């Protein structure tokens, strides 16, 4: 693993990254933390007016969601939270939620522990010591933000809402 600098480092001007995304008409992940050796992941996400991120759960990690611009709603089994600028929401691992942007859209920053690298394992969770290549999962990788869908039947990215690539046996209709 690369050595991490022991000095603070300004990574991004979130206002400029957001403005560039708005100007380009982009949604989804506008910026993501990519420094080598990091222990965290973070994403700047923009949803256009009325855009949604379907119901999903993050089963392995807690997530902090910081609302930067606009507003919207976060729906979960326990009820609905209104999202407003400068609000910080804790999404504990295992919690189910869906997001809906309001009329002005929604921009938010997520921060969570970095995921360990993917590995090949058996159903019992133990690592496979030998064997061939694992199945290709490229059709489960979001083309917008790079997140791997955990559900084989997923049609949309649980992070940014982008449609996943179509594959045999799954309809995108």
**CA–CA dist 117, 99 (Å, integer):** 27
Domain range summary for the chain, segments of one domain joined by +: 14-116
Q: What is the per-residue pLDDT across 47-105, written as a single tens digit (0 to 9) for each?
A: 999 999 989 888 889 999 999 999 999 999 889 999 999 999 999 999 999 999 999 99
Q: What is the per-residue pLDDT across 125-168, written as a single tens digit (0 to 9) for each?
A: 444 433 333 345 556 777 776 677 777 778 888 777 778 876 54
Give the pTM. Answer: 0.66
Assign a CATH topology to domain 14-116. Answer: Jelly Rolls (2.60.120)
Q: Which of 33, 32, 30, 34 lies closest to 20 in space, CA to CA?
A: 30
**CA–CA dist 46, 39 (Å, integer):** 24
């Amino acid at each position: 693993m690369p050595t991490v600098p022991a000095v603070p480092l300004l990574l991004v001007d979130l206002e400029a990254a957001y403005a560039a995304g708005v100007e380009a008409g982009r949604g989804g992940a506008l910026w993501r933390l990519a420094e080598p050796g990091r222990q965290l992941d973070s994403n700047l996400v923009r949803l256009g007016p009325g855009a949604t991120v379907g119901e999903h759960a993050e089963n392995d990690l807690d997530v902090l969601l910081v609302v930067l611009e606009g507003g919207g709603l976060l729906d979960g089994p326990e009820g609905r939270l209104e999202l407003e600028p400068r609000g910080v929401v804790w999404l504990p691992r295992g919690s189910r939620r869906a997001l809906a942007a309001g009329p002005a859209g929604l921009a938010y920053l997520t921060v969570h522990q970095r995921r360990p690298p993917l590995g090949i394992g058996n159903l019992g969770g133990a690592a496979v010591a030998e064997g061939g290549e694992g199945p290709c999962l490229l059709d489960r990788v979001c083309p917008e933000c790079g997140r791997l869908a955990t559900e084989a039947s997923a049609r949309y990215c649980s992070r940014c809402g982008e449609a996943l690539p179509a594959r045999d046996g799954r309809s995108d209709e």
